[in-house]
Amino acid sequence: MFEPFHKVVSNVAGTVLKHEKETGRPIIGVMPAYFPLELIYAAGGYPVQLWGNQLPLEKSDAYLQAYCCSVARSVLELELIGGAEMVKAYAFTSLCDTLINLREIYRRLFPKPTLELSIPITRTVEARRTYLDSVVQNVTNGLEEITGKKITPESLAESAYLYGHSRALQRKLYNIRMGKPGLMKNYDFYTAIKTGFFLPAGVYNEMLETLLDQLENQPAPIGKRPKLLLSGMVFDPIQIYKIIDELGADIVDDDFANGWRNVSKQNLRVENLVEGITEFLFNPAPCCCLYNPDNDRHPYLLNKVKRSGADGVLFWYIKFCEPDAFDRPQLLKRFKKERIPAGFIDIELSMTNFEATKTRINAFCEILEG
């Protein structure tokens, strides 16, 4: 069932080049996180999401310190070694200090155009609306300049449907996983989600529909295994899911920026793009990078644990991600108060030895099994 997804993830460059050729759309590399892919597609571009990779970090060391996260370092490495030649331009958001400065590094090093969706985090509603209006205007103008095509109401509506539908199908997959733990291997599940980073939405949607058809009516496996909820920014490196599969634990839900936080987003409302993008950025799942006290992470995550039936929460910490690191101690304290087992693992995308990670996850699963 998952073979087509594994094929994509194991041959990203080949896949992306094939679809670039077939669609004739210029590839726009999308940096973390929450840049609405709909805008890129509506402008005639082919959005490909870059959430980091597992390249050994060599050339990027000349530009980024070791205390920058491996997401930023590995994405830069890809460009520096010529692995991102097919990417014609980059789309950023102002998610964190590292990514803001990374855009500046790209502007100094490479001739490729870059865009930034500057996310206003003020609570002054009118100021946010007016400012975002100008930001969206700049972004759409920039995209049109890159692709040479105009964004029209029709192209926006089409892309809102396509990408909204991708997320709706992904949500079905999430719901099946939550309802039938163990039906899908953890490794297969995240491969299926990751595939969406690299394919045009229409192609991806067909693959997901086929998968969902195959999964329908399949019974949930019998037997009790530890049920995990994972929380973090990026769900890679994907090999760790093989370890979790081997350990016999089931992930029933997640709170990843490139997982449920993104998947949960409803269709982008394009009739009022500024309001639509505001809603898209801040809802429904809260993110450690976007200040939004109206949507507090503490009750949100507690509710998520309850809803998913997870036995415990594992924080998946990409080293040097400050926004994530700041939230963790208070969240751990809150979980402890609510008697929800919680732990964390430190992750580097470039890691090659998973033994310590395996030991840690195993120990956590043993706690859950009592």
Partner 1 sequence: MTQFKAYSKMKELMTNYYIEAKTTQEKPIAWVTSGAPVEFLYAMDILPIYPENYAAMCAAGHQSVELMEAAEAEGFCQDICAYARTDFGADITQGGPAAGLPPPHFLVCSTNICKTVIKWYEVVARKYNVPLFIVDTPFLHDGLTKELINYTISQFKDLENFLTDFTGKTFEHERFMEVLYLSLEASSYWNKMLYLGKTIPSPFNSLDTFIHLGPIVTLRGTQKCVDYYKILYEEVAERAQKKIGSIPDEKYRLLWDNLPIWFKMKRLGEFFEEKKVTLVATTYANSWGRLGNSHGEPINDPYATLAGYYLNVYINLGFEERIKYLAQLIDEFSLTGFIMHSNRSCKPYSVGMYRLQEEVTQLTGKPGVVIEADQNDPRVYSDAQVETRLEAFIESMESVSKIDSSPL
Of residues 105, 183, 212, 367, which one binds partner 1 by CB under 8 A?
A: 105
Segment interacting with partner 1 (CB under 8 A) among 11-19, 95-103, 187-195, 268-276 = 95-103
CB nearer to partner 1: give 202 or 323: 323
Of residues 20, 38, 77, 116, which one binds partner 1 by CB under 8 A?
A: 116
Backbone angles phi, psi at 191, to 5 degrees: -65, -40
Q: What one-letter code names the amino acid at 273?
A: L
Segment interacting with partner 1 (CB under 8 A) among 167-175, 176-184, 312-320, 356-364 = 312-320
Quote the least distance from Cβ 96 to partner 1, whole Å: 6
Count of chain residues binding partner 1 (CB under 8 A): 49
CB nearer to partner 1: give 83 or 323: 323
Q: Does 103 bind partner 1 (CB under 8 A)?
A: yes
Q: Does 291 bind partner 1 (CB under 8 A)?
A: yes
Of residues 126, 154, 294, 355, which one binds partner 1 by CB under 8 A?
A: 126
Q: With contact defined as beta carbons under 8 Å apart, do 366 and 226 qualify? A: no
Q: Does 295 bind partner 1 (CB under 8 A)?
A: no
CB nearer to partner 1: give 101 or 359: 101
CB nearer to partner 1: give 67 or 353: 67
Quote the least distance from Cβ 99 to partner 1, whole Å: 9
Q: Does 110 bind partner 1 (CB under 8 A)?
A: no
Contact mark string toward partner 1, 144..183, x via CB under 8 A? ----------------------------------------
Instruction: Give CA–CA dist 135/154, Å, rounded.
Output: 21
Residues listed for the chain: 370
Segment interacting with partner 1 (CB under 8 A) among 156-164, 212-220, 251-259, 328-336 = 328-336
CB nearer to partner 1: give 162 or 289: 289
- To 5 degrees, how large is the angle CA 265–CA 271–CA 274? 65
Binders of partner 1 among residues 50 to 69 (CB under 8 A) are 62-65, 67-68
Three-class HEC string of the chain: CCHHHHHHHHCHHHHHHHHHHHHCCCEEEECCCCCCHHHHHHCCCEEEECCCCCCCCCHHHHCCCCCCCHHHHHHHHHHHCCCCCCEEEEEEECCCHHHHHHHHHHHHHCCCCEEEECCCCCCCHHHHHHHHHHHHHHHHHHHHHHHCCCCCHHHHHHHHHHHHHHHHHHHHHHHHHHHCCCCCCHHHHHHHHHHCCCCCHHHHHHHHHHHHHHHCCCCCCCCCCCEEEEEECCCCCCHHHHHHHHHCCEEEEEEECCCHHHHCCCCCCCCCHHHHHHHHHHCCCCECCECCHHHCHHHHHHHHHHHHCCCEEEEEEECCCHHHHHHHHHHHHHHHHCCCCEEEEEECCCCCCCHHHHHHHHHHHHHHHC
Q: Does 210 bind partner 1 (CB under 8 A)?
A: no
Of residues 165, 328, 358, 360, which one binds partner 1 by CB under 8 A?
A: 328
Q: Does 100 bind partner 1 (CB under 8 A)?
A: yes
Q: Does 337 bind partner 1 (CB under 8 A)?
A: no
Q: Would you tell me which residues interact with partner 1 (CB under 8 A)?
A: 62-65, 67-68, 94, 96-98, 100-105, 107-109, 116, 118, 120-124, 126-127, 130-131, 134, 288-289, 291, 293, 317, 319-323, 325-330, 332-333
